[in-house]
Amino acid sequence: MSVISLRNATKRFPGTGGEPHTAVRDLTFTVDAGEFVAVVGPTGCGKSTTLSLVSGLEPASSGEVDVNGEPVRGIPDGVGYMFQSDAVLPWRSVLDNVAAGPRFRGLGKQQAREKAMVWVERVGLAAFAKYYPHQLSGGMRKRVALAQTLVNEPKIMLMDEPFSALDVQTRALMQDELLRLWAGTGAAVIFVTHDLEEAIALADRVVVMTSSPATVKAIFDVPLPRPRDVEEIRLTPEFVAAYREIWDTLREEVARARAEAMGRAS
């Protein structure tokens, strides 16, 4: 039973020279409940646009986007979204940031904070509940964002390169943390990244996108058992085999995106 399904979804933006710019075209893929799908593609190919379509932040120009079996109009129920850049509120403490979702959804201040505290503890920030975001490290701010998303108990989680700004060790730590927290939720995940290793380590399926305008090039199953330890799993032969197979497909697109970027620069 798929909770997210895209059929020939296309998104065009008004371009700079009057020509509409096509960010994604003819996207077709589905995500089942409880499934973790990673979307990889060359940098700047329009992967994030896919998430905007599913979240309802941007309407599709043509094609269909269904969430929970209904066409997306506005933000669907049960969607959580972790943005690439920091989106925590700098003027609220960690606790009040996490409590924001429940507060918006009509819970009283006290109840919202109690609910939020559970998640603040789960992401390991109990000692920092009263801190402001600027007092935290980049990794801790990502934990706040993660708790902020999870406290709403989303059935669909959209993640836009959430860990790309972190250093390698913190990133691995956050990946493990994400898998641990997600394991109990049964939520469907679309995780956008340009890092194939990250995609394979986390996902059940990997969707490879072409360079701009992006469309689905191929979809691979990742035959790795769960629970996973992202640092250990990278060393297994199954991981390496999957990496080689998917990279063969992705490589051409990355090369093309690079050539295009060079062409544009010169």
Partner 1 sequence: MQAETLAPPVLSTGSVRRRRLGKLWGVRVAVVVVWLGSWELTASHWIDPFFYSKPTLIWERLVDWFTEGTAFGSVWIQIATTLQEAVLGFIIGAIGGVVLGILLGRARFAADVAAPFIKAANAVPRIVLASLFVIWFGLGLTSKVATAVVLVFFAVFFNAFQGAREVDRNLVNNARILGASRSQVLTSIVVPSATSWIFASLHAAFGFALIGAVVGEYAGADKGLGLLIANAQGTFDAAGIYAGMIITTVIALLAEWLLTLLENRLLRWRPPALQGAENA
Binding site for partner 1 (CB under 8 A): 55, 57, 75, 79-81, 83, 85-87, 89-92, 100-101, 104-105, 130-135, 148-149, 152
Provide the minimum distance between the beta carbon of 240 and partner 1 in the complex, in angstroms, as a whole number.
36
Q: Specify whether the backbone of 92 is left (phi greater than 0), alpha (psi in -120 to 50) or beta.
A: beta
Of 190 and 250, the one with the shorter C-beta distance to partner 1 is: 190
Element (H, E) at 6: strand 2-13
Our CB check for partner 1 shows the closer of 105 and 244 to be: 105
Q: Which is nearer to partner 1, 75 or 241 (CB)?
A: 75
The CA-atom distances, in angstroms, between 19 and each of 13, 16, 22, 25, 60 are: 9, 7, 9, 16, 18
Question: Which residue in the block uniquely carries the two structure tokens 């060790």?
Answer: 169
Task: Write down the least CB distance from residue 85 to partner 1, Å.
Answer: 6
Residue type for position 121? E
Taking the C-alpha atoms of residue 18 and residue 238, their distance in angstroms, rounded to an integer, is: 48
Nearest distance, CB of residue 160 and partner 1, angstroms: 10
**Two tokens at 159?**
């993640």
Q: Which is nearer to partner 1, 5 or 148 (CB)?
A: 148
Report, in Å, the least distance between residue 80 CB and partner 1. 7
User: What's the closest the beta carbon of residue 60 comes to partner 1, in angstroms?
Assistant: 17
Q: Which residues neighbour 210 within 8 Å (Cβ) at sequence distance 6 or greater?
A: 41, 45, 216, 217, 253, 256
- In the complex, what is the shortest distance from the CB of residue 185 to partner 1, in angstroms, rounded to a whole number? 16
Edge-to-edge strand ranges of the sheet holding 205-209:
79-82, 156-160, 188-193, 36-40, 205-209, 216-221
For partner 1, the closer of residues 152 and 215 by Cβ is: 152
Q: Output Rg (C-alpha) for the chain, integer angstroms.
A: 19
> 36 vs 81, which CB is nearer to partner 1?
81
